[in-house]
Chains A and B, each alone.
Chain A
C-alpha cells in the first residue's frame, strides 16, 4: 500500500520517434494518489489517461518529470520493481492454464514455496468468489470472471502497492457490469489498497472513486470528490463532462447585476453580483438540467422556450429546448423533467433558473 505521486510529469510519444514537432500526451502533471484510497482518472478518449497509467506502472518512462511511490523516486525502475499491478481494458488471462495457476502465476514467478502459494491463492479466490472455478480452464470463463482473474493476479502478491484499472468494464456484459463494479469497490475497501481507475464513463468513476481527477488533453482539469465535481465544477468542461446530460453552458453578458442572454435577462441579487469578480464583461452561465425548474404555466420571472427534442429515459425525460430569436444563434438548453409531464414537440415550456444553482465561468474558470 502506498502513496503514488507525479511531479511535473510530461510525456510525448514523438520524442521516441525522433520527430521535431511534439505533441504532449501528458503535460506538466502534478498529482498524488493517497495511500489506500479509491481514485479515478476521468476524461474523454485520447486524453492521456492510459498513458498516465502506463507511466505509473512503468510500462512507459515519462519524457520529463518524476514518479514517486511512498516518497521514493521510481521513475527509472522496471514494472516488476515497482510492485504495481494493472488490469487491462480486455481481460488478460493465461489461457493455457487453469484459474488456480493463473492466480498463482505471479507467485510462482518469484519462486514462493508451494504451500504459501496455495494459501494466498485460496484467500484471493475467496475474496473474488472464484473458489468454485479454480480447476476450470481459464479460457472457459465469461468475461467478468476473466476480469476478476486478472485482478486477482494483481492483488495476490503481498507487496502490491497499488492497482491500476484501465477501463476494466468496457468488454463486460452490461448485466454483469454493475455487479463487478460493486465488487471492485468492495475489494478495494477490504484490502485497503490504493486503486486508480481509468475510465471515460463518469458513472463508473463517480461510483467507484472517493477522489476523481478529470483529465483533458493531457492536463489535469480538476480533482475532487464526486460531489465536488458535480456541484462545484471549476470549468465549463468539467460541468459539461460530469452529469448526464451535462451542465448547460450558455454564453452571457454581465452588466452590473444583470445577466443578458440571447433575448432575455436574469437579475442577480446584489450579494451574488458582489461576489463575482467581474462587472461588465462576457461570461458563461452554467446550470444543470436537473436544477432548472420547468413548467407549462407562465409565472413571474419565467422564460418561455420551445420544445425541440424529447428523450424518454424511463423514470424521467430530457427535454431539449430551443429559443429562436430570428438570429442564427439559437439558444439550446436541456432540462430534466418528471416522466408525468406530457409535452410534445413545438410546445412552449416556461423555465426558471434558481439563483443558488447558477455557476458563472469566465475564460474557462469558475468565477462564481
Chain B
C-alpha cells in the first residue's frame, strides 16, 4: 500500500464490514439451510431459492411491489416537477412554501402510518366520513382497492416533497440565458420545458428517481401500521412478505427471499440509472 491514506480508511472498512457485509453473509448462509426453531440447521443448497421462485405468494408480492413502485414514480416525479415549477422563484413566499413542503419529510415512517390510520379508520376517520357524505363507500380494512390506493396516496403525500425540493434546487441552477436563447429561437413553452428545463434537471431527477425507486421498494412501516398487509394480501409488499416469513421462523426461506428481493432492487436501480443517463445523448442525423 503505497498510499498512506488507506490506513485512515481501514477503521471505516472494518465498521462497514461489521455493519453491512457480515450480516449479508449471514443471510447468504441462512438462505442455504432449512432452519427450524430450536433445532440444528440442515444444508439444502439452492432449494430455498427454487421454492421462493415457485411460491405464488412471493410472485404476488413481487408484482404488487412492481405496480406500486411504478405508480409511485409515475405520480411523484411529474407531480414533483409541476409543484417545483409552480413555486415562487424568489421573494417572501419562498421560505414558507419550502418549510410547508418539507414537513411531511420530517415525520418518521411509523408516525406517518399512525396518522393515516387515524385518517382512514372506519369509525372515526375523516376520509371515510367524507366518502360517506358524498354518498360513496370507503373501507381500508375491507376493500382491497381502497387499501392499496390509500397506501399509494400516503406515499405520494409523504415523499413528493422530496422530489419537489430536488427539482426546485435544479430549477434555480438553470441560468436565465438558456430561457432567453429558447425565446430567441422561437421555442414555445412546451419545447422550452422539453429541451431546456428537463435536460437541465437530468441529474437531480436521476437522483430523485433512484431514491424513490429504492425507497418505494422498501416500503414497510406504513402498510404494516395502516393495513397490516391486508385485506388479504392486497397491501403485502415484498418487505412485508419477507418479514412475515421470518416472523414465522422460516428463516432459510426468508433469507432466500431477502436475497432475491435485494437483487431485484439492485437490478432495477441499475436499469433505471442506465436508461436515464442514456436518454438524449447524441444521435444520427435523419
Interface residues in chain A, defined as those with a beta carbon under 8 Å from any beta carbon in chain B = 57, 59, 78-80, 84-86, 88-90, 92, 94-98, 100-101, 105-106, 109-110, 114, 118, 134-137, 139-140, 150, 153-154
Contacts A80-B186, A105-B185, A109-B188 hold; do A100 and B195 have CB atoms under 8 A apart?
A: no
Name B178's contact: one of A84, A86, A92 (CB within 8 Å): A92
* Chain A residue at minimal CB-CB distance from B196: A94
Q: How far is the CB of B26 from chain A (nearest CB, A)?
A: 45
Residue with the highest number of chain B CB atoms closer than 10 Å, among A90, A101, A153: A101
B183/A59 in contact, CB under 8 A? yes
Q: A109-B191, A135-B282, A135-B285 are in contact. List 7 more A-B contacts (CB 8 A).
A: A80-B186, A86-B180, A96-B281, A98-B283, A105-B185, A134-B285, A153-B185
Residue B55 lies at the interface, judged by CB distance under 8 Å to chain A: no
Q: Can you list 9 A-B contacts with CB-CB less than 8 angstroms, sorted by A residue number?
A: A78-B183, A80-B183, A92-B180, A96-B281, A97-B195, A105-B185, A105-B187, A136-B282, A153-B185
Residue B124 lies at the interface, judged by CB distance under 8 Å to chain A: no
Q: How far is the CB of B275 from chain A (nearest CB, A)?
A: 14
Per the bound structure, the CA–CA distance linking A84 and B184 in Å amounts to 7
Q: Could you say which interface size class chain B belongs to?
A: 20 to 34
Contacts A135-B285, A137-B281 hold; do A96 and B185 have CB atoms under 8 A apart?
A: no
A98/B185 in contact, CB under 8 A? no
Interface members, chain B 207-231 (any A CB < 8 Å)? none
* Chain A residue at minimal CB-CB distance from B187: A109
Per the bound structure, the CA–CA distance linking A154 and B285 in Å amounts to 20
Interface members, chain B 175-207 (any A CB < 8 Å)? 175, 177-178, 180-181, 183-188, 191, 195-196, 198-199, 202
Name A106's contact: one of B180, B185, B283 (CB within 8 Å): B185
B198/A96 in contact, CB under 8 A? yes
Residue with the highest number of chain A CB atoms closer than 10 Å, among B175, B183, B184: B184
A92/B281 in contact, CB under 8 A? no
Report chain B residues within 8 Å CB of A109: 185-188, 191
Per the bound structure, the CA–CA distance linking A137 and B280 in Å amounts to 8
Give the 7 A-B residue pairs with the shortest CB-CB distance, closest first. A137-B282, A96-B280, A96-B199, A92-B181, A106-B185, A109-B186, A88-B177
* Chain B residue at minimal CB-CB distance from A87: B181
* Chain B residue at minimal CB-CB distance from A84: B184
Residue B123 lies at the interface, judged by CB distance under 8 Å to chain A: no
* Chain A residue at minimal CB-CB distance from B191: A109
Interface members, chain B 245-280 (any A CB < 8 Å)? 279-280
* Chain B residue at minimal CB-CB distance from A88: B177
Per the bound structure, the CA–CA distance linking A135 and B285 in Å amounts to 6
Q: How far is the CB of B90 from chain A (nearest CB, A)?
A: 12
Q: How far is the CB of A129 from chain B (nearest CB, A)?
A: 17
Report chain B residues within 8 Å CB of A139: 281
Residue with the highest number of chain A CB atoms closer than 10 Å, among B196, B284, B285: B285
Q: How far is the CB of B155 from chain A (nearest CB, A)?
A: 30
A86/B184 in contact, CB under 8 A? yes
Per the bound structure, the CA–CA distance linking A280 and B29 in Å amounts to 105
Contacts A86-B184, A110-B186 hold; do A92 and B282 have CB atoms under 8 A apart?
A: no
A79/B183 in contact, CB under 8 A? yes
Report chain B residues within 8 Å CB of A84: 184
Q: How far is the CB of A199 from chain B (nearest CB, A)?
A: 16
Interface members, chain B 99-136 (any A CB < 8 Å)? none
* Chain A residue at minimal CB-CB distance from B180: A59
A80/B184 in contact, CB under 8 A? yes
Report chain A residues within 8 Å CB of B286: 114
* Chain B residue at minimal CB-CB distance from A85: B184
Report chain A residues within 8 Å CB of B199: 94-96
Per the bound structure, the CA–CA distance linking A110 and B281 in Å amounts to 24
Report chain B residues within 8 Å CB of A101: 283
Report chain B residues within 8 Å CB of A106: 185-186
Per the bound structure, the CA–CA distance linking A114 and B285 in Å amounts to 11
Name A88's contact: one of B181, B191, B279, B282 (CB within 8 Å): B181
A57/B185 in contact, CB under 8 A? no
